[in-house]
Each structure stands twice: as structure tokens, then as C-alpha cells.
Amino acid sequence: MLKSFALSTLMVLGAASGALAQSDYPTQPITVVVPFSAGGPTDTVARLVAQVMSKELGQQVLIQNVGGAGGTLGAGQVANATNDGYTLLLHHIGMSTAPTLYRNLAFDPLTDFTPVGLITSVPMTIVARKDFEPTDMASLTTYLKANGQDVTYANAGIGSASHLCGMLLQDSLEVQMITVPYQGAGPAMTDIVGGQVDLICDQTTNTTNQIKAGEVKAYAVTSPARVDSLPDLPTTAEANLPRLEIGVWHGLYGPKDMDPAIVAKLEAALQTALQDPTVIQRFAELGTAPVPLDQATPQALTEELKGQIELWKPIIEEAGVYAD
């Protein structure tokens, strides 16, 4: 009797302190893990959004860059983190390709995370060091068909967006380039600008400034329509590569089984960030836009993730690319 009274008292106290924790949340800084290097496109999106979320939540939202293995190291870290809302993950399309690409993936994107919402979908651009010989997409195609085996292609590891785009490019042209892997597309772009590596396909959020400054040579954009911020760049479909269409969607997650009240606060803060004029303007300058607000929700992110896992599975299987 005493024991059950004590137990139920503890349960009531526990529930009360849980409720208090939810209503007080957040009471300390929040860490958002970006599973790629600082200075790259995922990092850029995360820092823009985190600034507004931080104001909205009244606590610092800090970015932690955990690059490696195409984003699976950082994602794995968050899958194993405490689900108190203080450790989150901002990842991209790689969440949906990792289950097919990685034979020994340490997490399940659909069951080991709590989705918060979609953020944006970013087109990709095919760019090269500025003194790379081909001048347009047609001459790039001819050049790669003849010399592809000698061309160095930078990517951010297996399952990164730059890897997927490179895989589709090589597949479409039936060529095999030399892959140079990085922990993120930030350092990869530094080496493209420096001329140490020939080619990359990466998000406009990482290439627009360099294209506009003439630091790289740009060939095509992977969206169905041209991008306003880079109007002279043809689409891959215009350049006769219709299979090379890819939009890099980004989402915010926490570890699995997060408190719904905490998720609701994060969802609201994310939606505020996506309506912020500075975020909208910077996104536009970098060739993208926030998703409509009804997609910045846990349900929409879950649907996108499920759909994209199904979409990429046969493409990856056909390409026969796997990692351990």
C-alpha cells in the first residue's frame, strides 16, 4: 500500500516536472548538428535558420559540424543523443539515400529520429575550376566522354548530394571520373577555386557567390526551370541530360521519441525562421526559397523522407554504388 502510494506520488511528481520541463523549454543552448564541414551549403542553411530560431526560442542555437561518411557520422551521433530537445540534426537528401547506400548503417532514418519539419529544397550546379577546358555543357559532355577517367570530381562522401549528382552525371554520360572525397562541400569548393580539383556538382547555396565572382566555371543547374539568381545558366534538361534533375531538400530532426510539446515549440520556431525576411532574401540570393509553411511540419518531413527513400532505392541499386 505504502509502496504503491510512494510510487504513484513519484509518478505524479515525475509527470509534473516533465510538464514543467516542457513549458520551460528551452532553458539552455540547443545544439544543431550539421553532418558536413563548416562553410558548406548545409552549414549555410543551418546558420541562417538557427539565428532566427535562437531569437524565437530565447536561447542560443549553436551549430556543431560533424562531417564524415557522407553525413552518416553526424546523423548517427544525433540518433544516439538524449532526446531532450537540446541536440538536433539538420540534414539533407542524404537521410533518404543512406539506407540504400550504406550496408551497415547504424541508424534507421524513419525510426531513430523525431522529425520537426522540412526547410528548403536547393538546386545543384555543375561547376569546375575556372581554367577547366570545356566552356559549356555541350563541350563538357564531349570532354568527359573522351577524358572522364582523368578528371577529378570532388564530393562530400558517399550519400552526399555532390556524390548523388556526380553518380547521375557519370551514369548519364557512361563515364567514370576520379573521386576526391571531402568532409563537406565547403572545403571541396575551396579546392575547386584553388584549382586543385576539376569538377563538382553542388548546391547553389555553395556555388552562387563563386559563379558570380568568376572564381569557377559553371555549366548547368539541376532544377526543372532556370534559377532566378543565375539566369544565364541552362538547366540540365536543356543540355540534354534530363535524368540529371535533383533538388537537395533539407529537414530538421531530433532523436526519436521527443516530447511532442518540445517538438511543437521547435516547429513553431522553424516556421518563424522560414518567414523571416532576411532568411527569405538570403535564400533567394543563393538560388533557393523556404518550403511553404505547411511543409515545415513533422508530418510533411516524414512523408518526404519515406517518398525519397523509395525514389532513390532503385536509382542507387541500378548504379550499384554501396558503402560499408
- Name the segment binding ligand ASP (CB under 6 A); options: 7-15, 108-116, 160-168, 306-314: 160-168
Q: Is 230 helix (H, G, I), strand (E, B) or coil?
A: coil
The distance from CA 156 to its chain's CA centroid, rounded to whole angstroms, is 11
The answer to the question of residue 38 lying near ligand ASP (CB under 6 A) is no
The answer to the question of residue 166 lying near ligand ASP (CB under 6 A) is no
Distance CA 140, CA 217 (A): 11
Residue from 25, 36, 153, 283 in contact with ligand ASP (CB under 6 A):
36
- Name the segment binding ligand ASP (CB under 6 A); options: 110-118, 129-137, 154-162, 303-311: 154-162
For residues 42 and 210, which CB has a smaller minimum distance to ligand ASP in the complex? 42
Distance CA 30, CA 140 (A): 45
Provide the sign of the torsion angle of the four alpha carbons 181, 290, 267, 294, taken in this order.
Answer: negative
What do you get for the CA distance between the two ends of the chain, in Å? 55
List the interface residues with ligand ASP, window 199-238 (CB under 6 A). 202-203
For residues 97 and 141, which CB has a smaller minimum distance to ligand ASP in the complex? 97
Shortest distance in whole angstroms from residue 309 CB to ligand ASP:
17
The answer to the question of residue 184 lying near ligand ASP (CB under 6 A) is yes
Whether 134 and 306 have beta carbons less than 8 Å apart is answered as no
Shortest distance in whole angstroms from residue 214 CB to ligand ASP:
22
The distance from CA 35 to its chain's CA centroid, rounded to whole angstroms, is 8
What DSSP element (H or E) covers 190? helix 185-194
Q: Where are the alpha helices (DSSP H) in 257-324?
A: 260-275, 277-285, 298-319
For residues 37 and 120, which CB has a smaller minimum distance to ligand ASP in the complex? 37
Burial of 150 (0-12, 13-18, 19+ CB in 10 A): exposed
For residues 160 and 208, which CB has a smaller minimum distance to ligand ASP in the complex? 160
- Name the segment binding ligand ASP (CB under 6 A); options: 18-26, 179-187, 296-304, 312-320: 179-187
Residues lying near ligand ASP in the complex (CB under 6 A): 36-37, 40-42, 155-156, 160-162, 184-186, 202-203
